Amino acid sequence: MPAHRFVLVARSRHWTQDETLSSNNTLDLSHMTSLVALSMLRWVYTDSVILPSEQATMIELLAATNKYHLGQLKEK
């Protein structure tokens, strides 16, 4: 999934430390469902999120916030 490096780095220290981000043109989020990936990226770019109604999807989104060090998203 294409993304802007400077936006990602500004939102999370995970991407600051991720050396693969500096050498790739895409962000691989294939390990998550498209709904979770879009929710996470929407928050990264807009600071707003539409929380999923399904419990399993919400758990996956919370796991993504932990993996990518998105504490502010987790608080929402």
| Residue whose token pair is 């400077």 | 6
What is residue 9's predicted lDDT score, i.e. its pLDDT?
Answer: 76
- Model's pTM, two decimal places? 0.74
What is residue 39's predicted lDDT score, i.e. its pLDDT?
Answer: 93
Reading the block at residue 66, the tokens are 């932990």
Burial class (CB in 10 A: 0-12, 13-18, 19+), 35: middle
**Average confidence (pLDDT) per 10 residues, the chain, 76 residues:** 70 67 72 93 90 92 90 82
What is residue 8's predicted lDDT score, i.e. its pLDDT?
Answer: 78
User: Angle, nearest 10°, between helix axes 55-67 and 34-46?
Assistant: 50
